Amino acid sequence: MERRDVLTLSAATGAAGALALGPVRFAAAAPAPGNGGGDGATLTRTVRGHLPPGTPDHVYVPVEVPPGVREIAVAYRYDRPDVPEGTVGNACDIGIFDERGTAPGGRGFRGWSGGARSAFFVRADDATPGYLPGP
């Protein structure tokens, strides 16, 4: 596999940018306990694919988050094969934006951990370090 190959994203983010993949959709949020009998179920969507050489450096995966969702958790992995000396290796950073936009440092920016993490979560009252809690 080549640089920027993506094997698994357990959700992701964004809305617009250099390249936007098709949206990840969840039919509906699970009702909260005591509010319709919800059991706190976790819904997972997996995106698998291959980003060939020449793919723009920023790829956004829009996620439609239905009302009532209490947390979004994202995880990813990708191949990191050896590359010839003097060749740039694989790099895959991770971050999240909300519906207000995808400009770095803009109003929609909710966090970024680059390649330092392979997973993060965001809730109204808490978030992984490097990410902003909120609705």
pLDDT single digits (tens) 20-64: 777 787 766 555 555 444 556 788 888 888 877 777 878 888 888
pLDDT single digits (tens) 86-108: 887 777 888 999 999 988 789 99
- Cα separation values, 40 from 35, 62, 69, 73, Å: 11, 24, 10, 14
- According to the model, what pLDDT value does residue 81 have? 78
- According to the model, what pLDDT value does residue 18 have? 58
- According to the model, what pLDDT value does residue 24 have? 80
Residue whose structure tokens are 């993506």: 6
- Which is more confidently placed, 120 or 79? 120
pLDDT over threshold 50, residue 110 = yes
pLDDT over threshold 50, residue 111 = yes
For residue 43 the two structure tokens come to 């819904």
- According to the model, what pLDDT value does residue 93 have? 84
Q: Which amino acid is at 42?
A: T
